[in-house]
A and B are shown apart, each in its own frame.
Chain A
Amino acid sequence: MIRHVRVLVANRPRLIRELILATIADQPDIEVVGEVKNEADLLPTVEEQRPDFLIVALDSPESRPPVCDILLSKFPDMKILAVAPEHNSSVFYWASIDIHSFDVEASEEGLLGVLRGPGRRAGGYQ
């Protein structure tokens, strides 16, 4: 049996979060393990759920959301997808010694591609 990708959805604003949740809910191989509405709940929820992926808001496409540094140092196996609420922009972050990133197409295909992508296999990203 294929193990589901476990995703925690924590991005803002609410409408974008719900649209992403609706997209993921339709995928049989991806499981939503939680929805975080307030940033204060983020760390405890990640600690409790230990998701494979965390989806957060990308407020500024030029800079990495500060939460990435804190969470990736504490949970180096987790991967983070930051989605801009207003523009076509999303970035994928993961850690191995350092934090790496690459731009993802801000579409359902781009988003689902990252969640299902080679990140599920050890050492998949270069």
Chain B
Amino acid sequence: MEKDIVGSSIHIFLLSQNRLLLEALTRILRKRAEFEVVQAAPYSSETLSIIAESGCEVLLIDSSVTELYGFQLIQDVVDAIPGLKVLMIGMDEDETVFLRAISCGAAGFVLKDASAMDVVAAIRTITRDEAICPPRLCLSLFRYVASTRTSLPNVRVKSQLGLTRRQQQLVPLIAQGLTNKEIASQLNLSEQTVKNHVHRMLQKVGADDRLSVVEMVKVNQIFL
């Protein structure tokens, strides 16, 4: 593979509380011209600014850091440094750790029973704007998304659109094209009450007409 090495190498920041891991990973990555390890260090209160100033494109972080200092750092670096990719090395196949890491913005996750070559491949993958994780943890992610979807209408619609339960109840009826009078008789309410509910719903979600409310709820349901 011919490659223009100068200026095209991937700049990597290694963050771990395990000195041997930092030193040995640096040793392996430095043997490859495509990688440049800009710094290998344990966590400190200055870590976020040091990473930002390092000009790295990839942050390789292991669970020894998140165990002691939490996952917020991942979110902080991803928010603070546009384009930065975070690859996490997890100790065990722990789906909570995995889901927390990716919910904070990690693009890749490998386990310590991976090979050194797997780590190298994972770095390449995330810099190509792809995500990577062990297949079994990928299943955890699928299951998590599936579970979020089923609990969605109540939780999400309410939190995102701010609709009350009664107002949510109106949505499918409006979607069927029922009039206020028809909805009122179905729910044993007065027509004026339904009218008030619809009026408040329009205000809450900022919709121009009643069918727009239905559309907005639908969109919210599709996107988690």
- Residues in A lying within 8 Å of B, measured CB to CB: 12-16, 18-20, 22-23, 26, 83, 85-88, 90, 105-108, 110-111
**Inter-subunit contact B18/A86 (CB<8 Å):** yes
Asked whether A111 and B18 contact (CB < 8 A) given A22-B27, A23-B27, A85-B112, the answer is no
**Inter-subunit contact B113/A15 (CB<8 Å):** yes
**Inter-subunit contact A26/B18 (CB<8 Å):** no
Which of B73-81, B114-122, B137-145, B212-220 is the contact stretch? B114-122
Contact check: which of A13, A14, A26, A107 meets B20 at CB < 8 Å?
A: A107
**Inter-subunit contact A23/B116 (CB<8 Å):** no
The minimal Cβ–Cβ distance linking B111 to chain A, given in whole angstroms, is 7
Give the docked Cα–Cα distance between A34 and B92 (Å).
25
**Inter-subunit contact B21/A13 (CB<8 Å):** no
**Inter-subunit contact B112/A15 (CB<8 Å):** yes
Chain B residues with CB under 8 Å of A20's CB are 20, 24
Number of A-B contacts (CB under 8 A): 70
Asked whether A15 and B119 contact (CB < 8 A) given A23-B27, A85-B112, A86-B63, the answer is yes
Give the docked Cα–Cα distance between A40 and B163 (Å).
61
Asked whether A87 and B115 contact (CB < 8 A) given A20-B24, A108-B24, the answer is no
**Inter-subunit contact A86/B64 (CB<8 Å):** yes
Chain A residues with CB under 8 Å of B25's CB are 19
| CB closest chain-B residue, reference A89 | B18
Contact check: which of A14, A22, A23 meets B114 at CB < 8 Å?
A: A14
| CB closest chain-A residue, reference B89 | A15
Interface size class for chain B?
A: 20 to 34
**Inter-subunit contact A18/B20 (CB<8 Å):** no
**Inter-subunit contact B116/A15 (CB<8 Å):** yes
**Inter-subunit contact A111/B20 (CB<8 Å):** yes
Give the docked Cα–Cα distance between A108 and B23 (Å).
7
Give the docked Cα–Cα distance between A14 and B112 (Å).
6
Chain A residues with CB under 8 Å of B116's CB are 15, 18-19, 22
The minimal Cβ–Cβ distance linking B64 to chain A, given in whole angstroms, is 6
| CB closest chain-A residue, reference B118 | A15
Give the docked Cα–Cα distance between A90 and B25 (Å).
18
**Inter-subunit contact A16/B27 (CB<8 Å):** no
Give the docked Cα–Cα distance between A14 and B103 (Å).
26
Give the docked Cα–Cα distance between A120 and B111 (Å).
35
**Inter-subunit contact B115/A18 (CB<8 Å):** yes
Give the docked Cα–Cα distance between A111 and B20 (Å).
9
The minimal Cβ–Cβ distance linking A61 to chain B, given in whole angstroms, is 13
Chain A residues with CB under 8 Å of B91's CB are 13, 85-86
Ordered by A's residue number, 20 sampled pairs between the chains whose C-beta atoms are within 8 Å are: A13-B111, A14-B113, A15-B113, A16-B21, A16-B112, A19-B20, A19-B24, A19-B28, A19-B116, A20-B20, A23-B27, A83-B20, A86-B91, A87-B18, A88-B19, A88-B20, A108-B20, A108-B23, A108-B24, A108-B27
Give the docked Cα–Cα distance between A52 and B73 (Å).
43
